[in-house]
Homo-oligomer: A and B are copies of this chain.
Amino acid sequence: MSTATASMQECIQNCQECQTICADMLTSHCLVEGGDHVEQTHVKRMLDCIAACGACIDFMSRNSENHSLYCRACAEICKACAESCEKVGGMEKCVECCRTCEQSCSSMAA
């Protein structure tokens, strides 16, 4: 990114990592484990998280004047996804990237 600030570049990277790790864990871990891992609320929170990161990357990469709206939403959704992953258990990798993304997006939204 030529024009983005260092903090925006870092936030884009955190969103990219969160988006791909959650998508990978959902399809290659949760859908294999079954049980709590495919419970409606949990899967919906993971799908929301993947979509929220995607939208956030999109608005930041276009240097949009509206990126803070999507960063704020992404922070909230990552927080809920991290909590759901902690409750389900065995999803430390997701919890970690969601927490990092939440903090990064909160800063960008401020």
Binding site for B on A (CB under 8 A): 1-4, 12, 16, 19-21, 23-29, 31-32, 34, 38-40, 43-44, 47-48, 50-52, 54-55, 57-59, 61-66, 69-70, 72-73, 76-77, 80, 93
Contact = CB atoms under 8 A, between A and B. Distances in A.
Interface of A is mostly: helix
A23 B62 contact: yes
Given A27-B43, A69-B77, 4 more contacts: A1-B24, A31-B43, A51-B58, A51-B62
B2 A63 contact: no
A20 B24 contact: no
Contacts of A52: 66
A40 B77 CA distance: 24
A46 to B, nearest CB: 11
